[in-house]
Structure 1
């Protein structure tokens, strides 16, 4: 489903978590589901940009716990497994000037057919070209596409 980078970590317990506590940095997790050159993306009703299913990490949660919770909330299905893929640190879209995101990306399988739930208004499978044609894009997702589909 998702190509792995050489030397990437397979077990989430071996992954060093981001140590950001400074204001202006949002710690978040996202699910990477990539098939047939398309990435599963969602858009919240209050956002213009599509981004990975996932979200902010609550105090006391690990990245993997937050990912499982967010997937259940946003897609209405469970997550089977969670393998660390990569972390992206970029500007956070729609969060104000100077706000950064530290986005930890994981791959995993869903235990059912995802559907928009909670604050999610839309769910879409997009190619890199389709995403880049959108009026608003998230820098972290643009970087992820470059890694997943460099052609």
Structure 2
């Protein structure tokens, strides 16, 4: 099934290069009570990422954040502290705007909720990120640790 997701993701990226859609995404710097950060590995792309995803048509951005946290890491009721920043990405052929929130999890249990999409999920110390953590994820974490409000290019 993971191979099918990888093929579908490649096909979607090809379509995006032709159609160049404008999209809105949401991600979370999701922290637990011990200030560990939640990261996920997807089945369709390599690397560790902040949990999140696309905002559906007709859906509020904050609603999308809570839906994605439930879908990706089985966390419900996270408390949003603030917006870290709004970023622009042209990767994958899209004109993508990503809103990144700082949020606190009310639960310590973290797991990949959707096995078709999430290959792994875990809590990590901010100074001990796993190998394969993507550069953009590392930049967002560095901005958070420095107390900055981010923005600009993803």
* TM-score normalised per structure 1: 0.64
Counterpart in the other structure of 1:30: 27
Show structure 1 runs of 5+ residues with no match. 1-21
Measured against aligned partners, the alpha-carbon deviations of 1:82-136 in whole angstroms (never above 9, x if no partner) come to 23331241546xx5257544233231323461211211111123345544x7346
Between the two proteins, the alignment pairs up a number of residues equal to 125
Q: 1:25 to 1:105 in 2, by over 3 A?
A: farther
Q: 1:127 to 1:104 in 2, by over 3 A?
A: same
Q: 1:84 to 1:115 in 2, by over 3 A?
A: same
Show structure 2 runs of 5+ residues with no match. 1-18, 147-154
* TM-score normalised per structure 2: 0.63
Q: 2:52 aligns with which of 51, 54, 66?
A: 54
Q: Secondary structure at the match of 2:66?
A: helix
Q: 1:60 to 1:79 in 2, by over 3 A?
A: same
RMSD: 3.0
Work out the CA distance in 1 between the residues paired with 2:123 and 2:50. Answer: 11
